[in-house]
Chains A and B, each alone.
Chain A
Amino acid sequence: MLSRRGTLPFLVGPPLVWLALFFLLPLFLIAAFSLRAGSGAVGPSEPWAPSAEHYQEVIGTPAFVRLLGVSVLMALGIAGLATVLAYPVAYFLTFRAGSRAALFLTLLLIPFAVSYLLRVMAWKLMLGPEGGINSLLGSLGLTHEPLSLLLYSRPAVIITLVYIWIPFAALPIYAAMQRIGRNHLEAAADLGAGPWARFWRITVPLSMPGAIATFFMVFIPTVGEYVTPALVGGTGGVMYGNIIQGYFTRSANWPLGSAMAMIMLALTLVLVAGALRLIDLRRLSA
């Protein structure tokens, strides 16, 4: 039988190797590409000459800087909406679903069985001129012609991404609520606290670490999102990730795309680190 020290490499080694190969190495390559002079799609065997020209170009292009700001704001809004909307779902599963919690949790996870792309495409159909929402509005007499705002717009991107994220967002909040001891709530009730007081003074603070984790879990990948804007955003719903993707594909300019990606990564890390400094998670969960 292996000692505790002996089992550690077997437990930690594979994930570390995996992360090194498929996370750190690609990240290093992107950083290296971003410092490479010239354009083109370049393989790692090509000669390499360090240059900051691409960083200068990105920062010196107002349209890119503005779009990065817009994308961060969109991600903040989408993460906030997804967290707020997922919170009641998690609350219901924890405190109201009772013995059917497992069933409802399974129902919540069913969308994961359908590919991300198909779910976005489904929204494209729903938001389209002949889609379900326009048909409903028309049949109710609320509109006389299909609303073009519903599809190929920034709101379409936000609606679709919030929908995509809600099932994911509910899980960390649900996990945090599961850890709330029922004795806290019972003690509060014995001391005369009503349902609202118990919710605001016990449930909300103790579930806050889960809600904050949810917020960042949605915010971080949404900043660089490009699939959903490409499908439902049209020309007005473009996000920063679409331009990165464009430089890697349409424009065959990997170095510039890499520089854009590194700038986005750095900004996201700064924002998350800053937010975590402001929010004392240990105090919240204590």
Chain B
Amino acid sequence: MRARLQPYRNPAAVAMSGLLLLSACAGTQQSTGDASAGEPSVAESAAAVEPNELLVLEWSGYEAEDFWTDFKTAQPEAEVAFEFGDTDANILALMQGGSQADVFHFYTGWQQFYVDEGLVREIDTSQLENWDKVPPEYQELGQIDGKQYFIPWDWGFTSILYNTDEVDEVTSWDALFDPAYEGHVSMWNDGPGAVAVSSYINGWDETALTDEQLAQIEADWIEQKPLNAFYWTGEYVDLCPAVQDGTVWVAYAWQGCYATALAAGDPVGYAKPEEGRNSWVGLYGISADTDSYELALEFLDNKLAETTCANAVSLFYYGCANGDVMAGIDDPVLIEAFGLDDPTILETTNFTPLVTEEQRTAWTSMWERVQAE
């Protein structure tokens, strides 16, 4: 399904998406400050010798030109290549391990690691023409200690994608653990994702889990393991094809796969679990080791441009940090998909918290043990 976008139509949508993001910031350690600080003199001198090529560390599916069409138009000669990660831990590991990527894409909860380990370069937002279209609460998500290290871009929900021909309406995350769907379930191959789901079901605070609770989560997922056809790693690589060919009936999923299956006329639903959906925000950073800082800035600026953002919204049902684009949403399907007409959306959404190194290690190791069982 391709939705029609008309800018500046729906101020309520902007307000709601802003509130969502404001809430996503709650409890995080970002602080506001002068976001224009950068290294223009270094960047300017470097620009003269910068290669006209860019390596982007992305998530599978985001390499589609729809997701960077404005940059393609602005810089038709620039060579853009992609390297892929499939979880936030994977993206971080690749960056820590010496990835040559100039730009990298990850999600809320993992910002601090990149700054602490010197993997990211501060962004000179004065060079971004589309920066003023990004609501302040989105901008703050990319700030650490008052410096703008990251550009917010996509946002959306995680919930249960289900086959409406095979499954009754899904109202709880529990559906992932329902033996009735044995062999037709698919969980994301990610420890933090599994911890979040279990926390929602049990009503636990995922940032304050006890050892006993984590052990219970591990036992639950070991028991759930035979229900899965497979753990998916790429939304468009293995999840969507399996949903569309009928192998998978119930899956932990993002909206992109839902939009794809719906557009193809497949019988799919996207649950509103009673425990609440999960919400996340995607961020882009520029590698501290990049030789293409200026080009990377232009790439990010164009990610925020109208056509690129509109594509993310209408083709993949992802929210975008460009407030004008979000304000233009008037398609009822998209309004429903983003929950823009739901006054209770804030109360019924679980925002992704910041992850500490200790939690990261414990949750990912727990998941490896589940897989080994």
Query: Which A residues fall within an 8 A CB radius of B?
Result: 39-43, 61, 63-64, 66-67, 128-130, 148, 151-152, 230, 233-236, 238, 240, 242-243, 246-254, 256
Contacts and interface: CB of A to CB of B under 8 A. Distances in A.
A238 B371 contact: yes
Given A41-B92, A235-B231, A243-B371, A253 B361 contact: yes
A251 B372 CA distance: 14
A250 B367 contact: yes
Interface stretch (B22-30, B83-91, B305-313, B314-322): B83-91
A43 B365 contact: no
A121 to B, nearest CB: 11
A240 B368 CA distance: 10
Contacts of B373: 63
B96 A242 contact: no
A253 B97 CA distance: 11
Given A63-B373, A128-B245, A128-B247, A247 B97 contact: no
* Closest A-B pairs by Cβ, 3 of them: A251-B364, A252-B93, A41-B96
A256 B183 CA distance: 31
B230 A247 contact: no
B90 A250 contact: yes
A243 B90 CA distance: 14
A247 B90 CA distance: 9
6 contacts: A39-B360, A42-B96, A43-B96, A233-B230, A243-B372, A250-B86
A64 B189 CA distance: 18
B225 interface: yes
Nearest to A256: B365
Interface of B: 85-87, 89-90, 92-94, 96-98, 183, 189-191, 225-226, 228-231, 233, 245-247, 357, 360-361, 364-365, 367-369, 371-373
B92 A252 contact: yes
A253 B98 contact: no
A236 B226 contact: yes
Contact of B98 (A43, A235, A248): A43
B373 to A, nearest CB: 5
A282 to B, nearest CB: 40
A249 B89 CA distance: 7
A254 B89 CA distance: 12
Contacts of B371: 235, 238, 242-243, 246
Contacts of A242: 371
Contacts of A129: 245-247
Contact of A234 (B229, B245, B367): B229
B86 A152 contact: no
B372 A235 contact: no
A61 B372 contact: yes
Contacts of B93: 41, 248-249, 251-252, 254
Contacts of B92: 41, 252
Contacts of A43: 96-98
Contacts of B94: 41, 249
Given A61-B369, A243-B371, A252-B93, A235 B247 contact: no
Contacts of B96: 40-43, 252
B87 A250 contact: yes
A250 B373 CA distance: 17
A236 B246 CA distance: 19
A253 B225 contact: no
Contacts of B98: 43
B286 to A, nearest CB: 19
A252 B365 contact: no
Contacts of A151: 247
A40 B310 CA distance: 37
Contacts of A250: 86-87, 89-90, 189-191, 364, 367-368
Nearest to B247: A129
B372 A152 contact: no
Contacts of B90: 249-250, 252
A169 B70 CA distance: 51
Contacts of A40: 96, 357
Contact of A252 (B89, B246, B247): B89
A169 to B, nearest CB: 28
A243 B97 CA distance: 18
A246 B360 CA distance: 14
B97 A254 contact: yes
B191 A251 contact: yes
Contact of B364 (A130, A234, A253): A253
Contacts of A64: 369, 372
